[in-house]
Structure 1
Amino acid sequence: MLSRFRLTLQRCVHTREKGKPLMLNPRTNKGMAFTLLERQMLGLQGLLPPKIETQDIQALRFHKNMAKMSDPLQKYIYLMGIQERNEKLFYRVLQDDIERLLPVVYTPTVGLACTQYGHIFRRPKGLFISISDRGHIRSVVNNWPENDVKAVVVTDGERILGLGDLGVYGMGIPVGKLCLYTACAGIHPHKCLPVCIDVGTDNTSLLKDPFYMGLYQKRDRSPAYDDLIDEFMEAITDRYGQNTLIQFEDFGNHNAFRFLRKYREKYCTFNDDIQGTAAVALAGLLAAQKATGKPIAEHKVLFLGAGEVLQGGDRVPKWGCFPPLSTPQPPSPPHNPPQAALGIANLIVMAMVENGVPVEDARRRIWMYDKHGLVRQGREEKVDSNQEPFAHPAPDSIPHSFEEAVTLLKPSAIIGVAGAGRLFTPSVLQKMAAINDRPIIFALSNPTAKAECTAEEAYTLTEGRCLFASGSPFDVVTLPDGRSFKAGQGNNAYIFPGVALAVILSSVRHISDRVFLEAAKALSEQLSPPDLAQGRLYPPLSHIREVSVCIAVRVMEFLYANGMAFHYPEPPEKEPYVRSKVWTSQYDSFVPDVYQWPRNAPS
């Protein structure tokens, strides 16, 4: 009887590889989890120790080894080494402990790994395209072995987190982002392609580094650069289709917005630094409504970092108007602001308009403060065209510091995206607490050293009344009165994997900003009352797979309702459909079920 057969839940897949090549391929390698029959039939007998392990034991070994490490870079090397040897195990351990491991594979450790990329290099991941490849990029793209790529993350390495121009070392960012596509949203890893565009670097240290792996030349800013990007976009869509998702990541400030404007109506593309950051910040503001009872339409928001576009050698902001800190720190280049500040501001305006506020009134509720001071009409320093909607008539008195701007404008929320270190000074935080019962303080710059303030500073100096979010993770803060707060991390990983999953499954051709508005609303709705009571503005990262699925369902419903989806027939029930498409890290079987049946089973 069939009921007496030992059935397996493993999916059976066919492989042409046998023996050692099967074990050396990270996509097929299972380590000591190969069964006895697999070892016998696939030429593995004797090539492995006799013990047959479960994936659970393999994961336990990883976590015990990881617990012995304290250096973040060593953790990164060890974790990414697992990816190079056993892909399924890598994603299994990442999902097991995403809250602890996400800061290793992504912000903030990935920034450190990028600065050391040539020194820790083991095996190439992704596609490297250089300015020398102009004219035959399609042939380079053809060298990628996968024929069904659905998502591409591309960088040119000019603005890596808050670290500046890292050139080809920036490849760590697309690799890390696509790891989260899979770990957080279940997008098949074989359908993901990381790309680094190498046009040189203006980082003189790298040009002297014998381990640097890119072109030893200054960054090409000629028309040839634009031609290269055009050719790249055409090559990707020629091979993989017009619906291929292309995510721009960590491009220079002067290129990010113009590429978004240039390509958004022609390709299926978005810029995570602009739109992903905007969605996660807006989600935090929407979540704060639950604590304050104040609708977003009534907030006044002041940004630190306003979207100034730096060119050439003008890399150091003149933040001299800020009082010194107890531990003086040199000012750092504001690498984050242009994309983050303006993206967040525009999405906040969209949310206010949706709540009945005229667009001009919504814009008037948003102010920006950059390296030259308050962004306003008629100031001596040039206001970039992207900033103009938020350049308002000058107030009665001109503030000469960010602290004075807080005093004068009385914002309900301050959002830091300057990437210039501890500029939410103690007096700024105390003033926010004096002006508001529940001040909203978002220190979103990455990595941790670039944050505008720490969680401890924010909670302590506002007596635990602030609603705080950060770009990098912070530990739980316990105040002298015993109250504990867990800061919400405004991590883009809450947004882009779920959005990407919905876009891929819906066969979207163009991605509207309204997609990110829907994603922000969906994310804020995942926050539970107990989460809010802990001080969180985002659900725990341990729930991120479920959060991503919920965002994907919400975005898919929006896309189909508004005629933006081109996958037919439309799934009648979106949630079961999305869940059915989620990739799993469970090992596949390489032996058909028939070979698993007991030999004495009746015929």
Structure 2
Amino acid sequence: MAQNSDQMKEEIDVRIGRPKVRGMDLLKDAHQNKGMCFTLKERQLLGLQGLLPPNIITQDQQVYFVMQNFYRWDNDLDRFIYMMSLQDRNERLFYRTIMQNVELMMPIIYTPTVGQACLKYGLTLRKPRGLYITIHDLGHVYDILCNWYIDDIKTIVVTDGERILGLGDLGAYGMGIPIGKLSLYTALAGMQPHQCLPIVLDVGTDNETLMKDPLYIGLKQKRERGPKYDALLDELMSAVVKKYGSNCLVQFEDFGNHNAFRLLEKYRNSYCTFNDDIQGTASVAVAGLLASLKITGKSLLENKFVFQGAGEASIGIAKLLIMALIELGANEEQAYSRIWMVDSRGLIVKNRPAGGVTGQKIPFAQDHEPIDKLEDVIKQIKPTAIIGAAAQPGAFTETILRDMAEFNEHPIIFALSNPTSKAECTAKQAYVATKGKCVFASGSPFKAVTIDGKTFHPGQGNNAYVFPAVGLATVACDIRTIPESIFLESAKALANMVTKEHLAEGRVYPPLADIRKVSTDIAVYLAQYAFKENLAFHYPEPTDKRHFIESHQYQIDYEEYIPPLYDWPGHSTKL
């Protein structure tokens, strides 16, 4: 049967390397659009002549234009919306702008502003991104994956919206988190953006405010739990493998505590998956603690840790600390004896009258009398480090901070809760109360603080230091399952990047401005580890691991389109 002209033209396009998308459609394609950077030759070849203003500019000039518009807005939420609209129009320009302004952009495109965006997602939604899979889609999850316009997916970030940052159950409004995480995968580690897919599992919400919100975009029903919920998760994981292969990374994000640990244990040995709230947070926090030792002068075994909170973040950090302590020579009993946890019912101890010591908390219950208040726990236990990850703003009171400075020369204060409004204390509060003695890190960014003429640059314990590197190494090396050791090795690698100059400034993490290099270096380190430990399925093993990792990274510079000269009737490519 004779082919029609459109079919013939498409075959010619494929043979000569001409993109199928041309003209106005090309300008609407964020993956390929270069805006006014298209050269005259490209404009003529691609059917763009007359569709753009005649001036031809450089990508750096485009970045300048973007920043001028960026500064026009007087609040961060509007800046977030502007940057997301740029991502929808011109992907390479979006990432180039971020990479040239990392420290400025990180708080805008992710924490803390992404929290505001999620709270108002019905207002901020401009263009659907990612997939919404509901509890009513049981039996059809694979079909929905097939509706996505790209088949070559390597990384998925999925949430059910039950515990978005420290903001609680936001249901379908939680889509902002997978989108933001995947943007960081590309910006900070160079993951290919077209290979990333954000997914929200909409199983309802228990947030009454959202149920009454006329702008709410999700299912207006109570959150589904039990067998149907589990069946949806099982079907998703099976459908991902069927559609994208067993080496497609699935990152779980912002699930409720009761599901986060359970699902991690259920899938971790059978699928390529990890939970960033548990494992990513743990890796970054442990890296900060390891770097802190260079200031305190103590070994990890000499420290005593008190956690404010016993949720997935705290327990994840504590478990990775246990692994690190055991690796240094402690037995299991000795390792657990260094970790004390405080939840909403007080210090977690054996046979606690207030109860509530169940599940993941049980191994951390100490032989000690019950203590109800965190202030009293600090006075009696006298820890060297306090770590907050329970989204209880102000939990680290001035009394606690002063007490920590009283019995420690350099107390370690980690206020890791996000967003900023949920932080246990601010950087200024910590430095002032301890008279500049503390080693401080936070989950959200804080400005530099000057005490007695010395300026401290508080470290931000941002998961972005680790999870993009883990994802890049996993995809590049074809790692099929991700053991806990990957996160401990990441923590060691990150801690080793903190220099004496960083420590002198009060930093326990490298500056965010260096994060692309940090991510690449950690990915290279993990590639070496993965091949050594037989975790990588990529064959043959590359001899130059750095070149191998860099070859997988997304390039933010525009590519020049120069197709071979070819003629077909009525449509010449000759200039």
Q: With the length of structure 1 as denominator, give the TM-score of the two structures.
A: 0.90
Structure 1 residue 416: Cα displacement: 0.5
Match of 2:337 in 1: 364
Structure 1 residue 67: Cα displacement: 2.0
The amino acid of 2:152's aligned partner reads D
Structure 1 residue 592: Cα displacement: 3.4
Q: In structure 2, how many angstroms separate the alpha carbons of the residues matched to 1:178 and 1:383? A: 35
Match of 1:25 in 2: 29
Does 2:359 match 1:382? no
Match of 1:510 in 2: 481
Q: Deviations over 1:467-518 (max 9, x none)?
A: 0000000001012x21110100000000000011111111111100000000
Query: Contact 1:364–1:392 (CA<8 Å) still a contact in 2?
Result: yes
The amino acid of 2:317's aligned partner reads I
Does 2:251 match 1:279? no
Q: In structure 2, how many angstroms separate the alpha carbons of the residues matched to 1:35 and 1:80? A: 26
**Structure 1 pair 263/296, CA: closer, same or farther in 2 (3 Å)?**
same
The amino acid of 1:436's aligned partner reads N
Match of 2:410 in 1: 438
Indicate which of 36, 40, 49 corresponds to 2:53: 49
Indicate which of 470, 476, 484 corresponds to 2:448: 476
Q: Name the % identity.
A: 53
Any idea what SS the aligned residue of 1:377 has? coil
Indicate which of 32, 41, 66 corresponds to 2:70: 66
Any idea what SS the aligned residue of 2:223 has? coil
Query: Contact 1:432–1:439 (CA<8 Å) still a contact in 2?
Result: yes
Match of 1:423 in 2: 395
Query: Contact 1:161–1:447 (CA<8 Å) still a contact in 2?
Result: yes
Indicate which of 467, 470, 490 corresponds to 1:519: 490
Does 2:504 match 1:500? no
Q: In structure 1, how many angstroms separate the alpha carbons of the residues matched to 2:143 and 2:168? A: 31
Q: Deviations over 1:294-328 (max 9, x none)?
A: 1112110000012xxxxxxxxxxxxxxxxxxxxxx
Q: Deviations over 1:430-463 (max 9, x none)?
A: 0000010000000000000100000000001101
Q: In structure 2, how many angstroms separate the alpha carbons of the residues matched to 1:24 and 1:451? A: 41
**Structure 1 pair 541/13, CA: closer, same or farther in 2 (3 Å)?**
farther
Match of 1:598 in 2: none
Q: In structure 2, how many angstroms separate the alpha carbons of the residues matched to 1:504 and 1:438? A: 40
Query: Contact 1:13–1:588 (CA<8 Å) still a contact in 2?
Result: no
Does 2:235 match 1:231? yes
Structure 1 residue 529: Cα displacement: 1.1
Q: In structure 1, how many angstroms separate the alpha carbons of the residues matched to 2:197 and 2:359? A: 34
Q: In structure 2, how many angstroms separate the alpha carbons of the residues matched to 1:594 and 1:350? A: 61
Any idea what SS the aligned residue of 2:359 has? coil
What pairs up with 1:459-470 in 2 under 5 angstroms? 459-470=431-442
Q: In structure 2, how many angstroms separate the alpha carbons of the residues matched to 1:17 and 1:505? A: 29
Match of 1:120 in 2: 124
Q: Relative contact order (alpha carbons < 8 A, sep ≥ 6): 1 or 2 greater?
A: 1
Structure 1 residue 13: Cα displacement: 6.3
Does 2:366 match 1:392? yes
Q: With the length of structure 2 as denominator, give the TM-score of the two structures.
A: 0.94
Query: Contact 1:15–1:590 (CA<8 Å) still a contact in 2?
Result: no
Indicate which of 284, 296, 308 corresponds to 1:304: 308
**Structure 1 pair 594/475, CA: closer, same or farther in 2 (3 Å)?**
farther
Query: Contact 2:345–2:356 (CA<8 Å) still a contact in 1?
Result: no
Instruction: Write out the 4+ residue segments of structure 1 that deviate beyond 4 Å after TM superposition.
Output: none
Structure 1 residue 207: Cα displacement: 0.9
Match of 1:579 in 2: 550
Any idea what SS the aligned residue of 2:481 has? coil
Any idea what SS the aligned residue of 1:162 has? coil
Q: In structure 1, how many angstroms separate the alpha carbons of the residues matched to 2:444 and 2:411? A: 20
Structure 1 residue 222: Cα displacement: 3.0
What pairs up with 1:337-376 in 2 under 5 angstroms? 338-376=311-349
The amino acid of 1:128's aligned partner reads Y
Does 2:411 match 1:411? no
Query: Contact 1:264–1:270 (CA<8 Å) still a contact in 2?
Result: yes
Q: Deviations over 1:75-129 (max 9, x none)?
A: 1000111000000100000111111101111110001000101111110001110
Structure 1 residue 359: Cα displacement: 1.5
Match of 1:450 in 2: 422
Match of 1:535 in 2: 506
Structure 1 residue 34: Cα displacement: 0.5
* Number of corresponding residues: 550
The amino acid of 1:63's aligned partner reads M
The amino acid of 1:475's aligned partner reads K
Any idea what SS the aligned residue of 1:472 has? coil
Match of 2:205 in 1: 201
Q: In structure 2, how many angstroms separate the alpha carbons of the residues matched to 1:557 and 1:25? A: 37
Q: Deviations over 1:207-262 (max 9, x none)?
A: 11111111111111131111001001111111100011000000011100000000
Higher mean displacement: 398-407 or 383-392: 398-407
Match of 1:548 in 2: 519
Query: Contact 2:345–2:372 (CA<8 Å) still a contact in 1?
Result: no
Indicate which of 220, 239, 247 corresponds to 1:216: 220
Any idea what SS the aligned residue of 2:535 has? coil
Query: Contact 1:279–1:519 (CA<8 Å) still a contact in 2?
Result: yes
Any idea what SS the aligned residue of 1:386 has? helix
The amino acid of 2:66's aligned partner reads F
Query: Contact 1:399–1:408 (CA<8 Å) still a contact in 2?
Result: no
Indicate which of 229, 241, 244 corresponds to 2:248: 244
**Structure 1 unaligned spans of 5+:** 1-11, 307-337, 596-603
Q: In structure 2, how many angstroms separate the alpha carbons of the residues matched to 1:581 and 1:222? A: 40
Q: In structure 1, how many angstroms separate the alpha carbons of the residues matched to 2:522 and 2:490? A: 6
Q: In structure 2, how many angstroms separate the alpha carbons of the residues matched to 1:76 and 1:382? A: 40
Structure 1 residue 194: Cα displacement: 0.4
Q: Deviations over 1:110-167 (max 9, x none)?
A: 0100010111111000111011111111000011111111100000000000000000
Q: Deviations over 1:551-570 (max 9, x none)?
A: 11111111111111111101
Any idea what SS the aligned residue of 2:413 has? strand
Structure 1 residue 184: Cα displacement: 0.4
Q: Deviations over 1:41-76 (max 9, x none)?
A: 111111111000110000011112212322110010
The amino acid of 1:296's aligned partner reads L
The amino acid of 1:249's aligned partner reads E
Q: In structure 2, how many angstroms separate the alpha carbons of the residues matched to 1:125 and 1:161? A: 20
The amino acid of 1:76's aligned partner reads F
Does 2:141 match 1:137? yes
What pairs up with 1:146-161 in 2 under 5 angstroms? 146-161=150-165
Match of 1:7 in 2: none
